[in-house]
Structure 1
Amino acid sequence: MSVTVHSLGCRLNLSESEQLRGVLAGTGNLVVINSCAVTREAVRQTRQAIRRARRAHPDARLLVTGCAAEVEREMLAAMPEVDGLVANTAKLDPRAWNVPAATPRPVERKRYTRAFVQVQNGCDHACTFCVIPQGRGPSRSRPPADVLREVAAHRDAGVNEVVLTGVDLTSWGADLPGAPRLGQLAGAILATFPDLPRLRLSSIDGAEVDDELFDLLAGEARMMPHVHLSLQSGDDLILKRMKRRHSRGDAIRLVERLRARRADLAIGADLIAGFPTEDEAMHRNTLAIVAELGVVHGHVFPYSPRPGTPAARMPQVDPARIRARANALRAAVATERARWLGTLVGTPLCVLAENDGTGHAANFAPVRLPPGTGAGTLLRITPRAIVEGMLQ
């Protein structure tokens, strides 16, 4: 009997897939596709993954969960390779899989050198381009005690880096008694586990950064100097049409304030190219903010209309122009990244070793490591060159 889980999309899906392996361990010849629906390309990749999985496991039961199982339910259910769908909001409940109550079993995490800890799910916002609320429902926060228990299990297993994840991570706590903020949770983790070397955040909404979280990012050595912003655009009118809650100036001021206290801070950003009504001047504003913020970790998404969203009804940009703008944004990020990596040559870095002979510094710079370095270990490296986009 075997269970195979294929994960697509975000870090949250990756974390949930690991939990699913524990929930489903030993339940039979089963393949699960934990899908993504954030773009049309993500849905296409989900369909490809389903077909590949069926070819590789012709006799297995193949079930699909994740956001695409909600947003594209009819299309996926009609695929001949698919035996059934499991609701995204129920996928960590053993009952949704007809698994006996005695499970879930302990999760095996040997494949990963850092632990992704889901502290929040769902979203209460209504960004005009986004289907994630359709796929994951309203915002829900995990109680602090649950989070601390999971972190404790990871520390017992020797994990040296914990990454807090969520659909709208910085909204954590709003639905809990007393409405605590994410900074309070991060502070509790660091205080409870003084031997935890590294705590990192996944993508955050800059408009929701509370004072305690800001202070930790700006001054706590064990909080990694790596902030990935859900930025989306550098143009104020496009941000309004996206129904984002920050302006261009808000993002710039946040980064300036953080860098004033922590010079080694590395900035990442999610960026959408070719949002409806975006003209060349608006696109140039997004290109410009890449340099203004020094974005060195960029996730660039060519806009694609998603079913049922307000943006799908707005005047659309020509697909060829969208692709060209996405390429321009990627090139802008690559320029910033190359410049940044150059500044790190000759600088001592604390690096967490991965499984493939590489590692990541605290600021998430990629580093090629000496042969034989054990995965999951922390070591001090002073890079002397940049080879194929990596420090070495």
Structure 2
Amino acid sequence: MKFHILTFGCQMNVGDSDWIRRSLLAADWKESGEDDADVFIVNTCSVREKPEQKVYSLLGRLARHVARRPAVFVAVGGCVAQQVGETLFQRFPFVRLVFGADGVANAPSAIMRLASESGTRISLLDFTDRYPERAAAFVDDALTAQAFVNIMQGCDNYCAYCIVPFVRGRQKSRSSDEVVAECREFAARGVKEITLLGQNVNSFGLDTAGDGTSFAQLLERIAAIPGIMRLRFTTSHPKDLSDDVISAFGRLSNLSSALHLPLQSGSDHVLKKMGRRYTIATYLEKVRKLREARPDIALTTDIIVGFPTETEDDFRETVEVVQTVGFAGSYSFMYCDRPGTAASRLDSKVEDEVKARRLAELQAVQEKLTQTHLCQAVGTRQRVLVEGASSNKDGSLAAWRGRDEYGRVVNFTCSSSADMTGSICDVDILEAKKHSLWGKAV
């Protein structure tokens, strides 16, 4: 059987899709393109409205494949599947499996069962009390130098705008021994960089499913595994970023000099309405401590523009904080109501044209900050983990693409004709592009 996976949304979805992919490959299924796939697996996101609408558009397009080959079926997972559930069966008859985040562990076996039972439909939408451990799926020729490792599932914060607790459930930490064992196995198979994933990794171990290991202690154990040259994590909630985790940036040399720390707003008034449970003063104090521990750390963030009740003064405060911190990059979005959230019931909605104007202004400010950050790298030497060939060329020399320890994309030339994918290479940075760096291998 042949399968094709399409993934929307966050890195947790990317990690889930990769595990499903490796599980099917381990069962002797084949990965294929769209035209000859027997099964389509669509991993969805509903954090914002636009990705959700993209899913419905995609399913409409996949209907053409089913019309041409009636045995083809679709499995829909992720947040949209959890949100709308079995209504997908009625709206799209060729959808035969829906599964939420807690159903991922059983998705590969369900897909294989459906391939042999033409009239069956399966729903895996129940939340579990504990993190549902997954069978090992280490397929050497399906691994790269980078790997995602889930350390938890769900979230207990219930920020006013966020649908995640409703579609991913309450927080459930994995056993720290299971996490370390998975990281150790990846390292033994040549993985050099591991990214730890969770809705709020800083609160790892603080729920009833935790085994007493804090996130800082987990970082220490994983960083000590031989072969792990880079360790990253996402996403962090500022209120739970402890001094122990901050000091880890000063202690652990293979902890990457990059951190994504969502701000969401630079206004205390808006943060309170959002239910974020920190102030701008406490956020900036954590930034100060991070830069004290790791002076060169590159900080990125998330920002919502036009949250209900946001005034022009609130927005100005956000721009000021962005400039004060000097974020290396940010993901910024216009607020949109998500079903079931507290913010969807708030009055004083900001008009769309005002949100659009504010977003454009904020993104223009960020573009300048990002360019400054990239320009500061020119003339330096960076260690780049090579992800593959680059589409950028410089004459007849081979060009490669990777990321440095700050998470920046680096395209570079190399005189060697060998395949450099998966290697770590020293690169002299020669030029800053709009969103990336250009250099030459040493």
Normalised by the size of structure 2, how large is the TM-score? 0.82
Deviation at 1:140, TM superposition (A): 0.8
Q: Is the 8 A contact 1:119 1:169 kept in 2?
A: yes
Deviations 1:172-199 (A, max 9, x none): 11134553211110101112x1331110
d(CA) in 1 for partners of 2:307, 2:210:
38
CA separation of 1:262 and 1:153: change in aligned 2, threshold 3 A = same
The partner residue of 1:146 within 168, 171, 178 is 178
Deviation at 1:78, TM superposition (A): 3.9
d(CA) in 2 for partners of 1:109, 1:328:
45
Residue 110 (structure 2) pairs with residue 97 (structure 1): yes
Match of 2:5 in 1: 5
Deviation at 1:384, TM superposition (A): 1.6
1:385 is paired with a residue whose SS is strand
Letter in 1 for 2:92: P
Match of 1:227 in 2: 259
1:389 is paired with a residue whose SS is coil
Match of 2:21 in 1: 21
CA separation of 1:301 and 1:75: change in aligned 2, threshold 3 A = farther
Normalised by the size of structure 1, how large is the TM-score? 0.92
Match of 2:354 in 1: 321
Residue 378 (structure 2) pairs with residue 348 (structure 1): no
Match of 2:404 in 1: 361
Q: For structure 1, which segment, 49-58 or 212-221, has the greater mean C-alpha deviation from structure 2 after superposition?
A: 49-58
Deviations 1:338-379 (A, max 9, x none): 011111111111111112422111111221121556122111
d(CA) in 1 for partners of 2:297, 2:318:
21
CA separation of 1:125 and 1:387: change in aligned 2, threshold 3 A = closer
Match of 1:160 in 2: 192
d(CA) in 1 for partners of 2:141, 2:279:
39
Write out aligned runs for 1:270-349 (5 A): 270-315=302-347, 316-349=349-382
Letter in 2 for 1:368: N
Letter in 2 for 1:235: S
Match of 1:390 in 2: 436
Letter in 2 for 1:322: K
2:413 is paired with a residue whose SS is coil
Deviation at 1:49, TM superposition (A): 2.7
CA separation of 1:289 and 1:318: change in aligned 2, threshold 3 A = same
Q: Is the 8 A contact 1:17 1:34 kept in 2?
A: yes
Q: Is the 8 A contact 1:86 1:96 kept in 2?
A: no
Deviations 1:124-172 (A, max 9, x none): 1111101111111010111112112211222122111101111121111
d(CA) in 2 for partners of 1:83, 1:321:
39
d(CA) in 1 for partners of 2:137, 2:257:
35
Q: For structure 1, which segment, 15-24 or 129-138, has the greater mean C-alpha deviation from structure 2 after superposition?
A: 15-24
Residue 183 (structure 2) pairs with residue 170 (structure 1): no
d(CA) in 1 for partners of 2:232, 2:428:
22
Q: Is the 8 A contact 1:94 1:104 kept in 2?
A: no
Q: Give the structure, 1 or 2, with the largest relative contact order (CA under 8 Å, sep 6 or more).
A: 1
Match of 1:39 in 2: 48
Q: Is the 8 A contact 1:353 1:369 kept in 2?
A: no
1:268 is paired with a residue whose SS is strand
Match of 2:33 in 1: none
Match of 1:71 in 2: 83
Match of 1:246 in 2: 278
Q: Is the 8 A contact 2:371 2:434 kept in 1?
A: no
d(CA) in 1 for partners of 2:322, 2:424:
31
2:148 is paired with a residue whose SS is strand
Q: For structure 1, which segment, 229-238 or 321-330, has the greater mean C-alpha deviation from structure 2 after superposition?
A: 321-330
Deviation at 1:299, TM superposition (A): 1.1
> What residue ranges of structure 2 are gaps of 5+ in the alignment?
30-36, 114-133, 390-399
Match of 1:381 in 2: 427
CA separation of 1:269 and 1:103: change in aligned 2, threshold 3 A = closer
Match of 1:53 in 2: 62
Q: Which has the larger radius of gyration?
A: 2
Residue 214 (structure 2) pairs with residue 181 (structure 1): yes
d(CA) in 2 for partners of 1:350, 1:323:
38
2:300 is paired with a residue whose SS is strand
Deviation at 1:388, TM superposition (A): 4.1
1:159 is paired with a residue whose SS is coil
Deviation at 1:238, TM superposition (A): 0.5
1:224 is paired with a residue whose SS is coil
Query: Number of aligned pairs?
Result: 390
Residue 155 (structure 2) pairs with residue 123 (structure 1): yes
CA separation of 1:263 and 1:243: change in aligned 2, threshold 3 A = same
> What residue ranges of structure 1 are gaps of 5+ in the alignment?
none
CA separation of 1:43 and 1:111: change in aligned 2, threshold 3 A = farther
Q: Is the 8 A contact 2:306 2:335 kept in 1?
A: yes
d(CA) in 1 for partners of 2:267, 2:215:
28
CA separation of 1:36 and 1:273: change in aligned 2, threshold 3 A = same
Root mean square deviation of aligned Cα = 2.3
CA separation of 1:57 and 1:74: change in aligned 2, threshold 3 A = closer
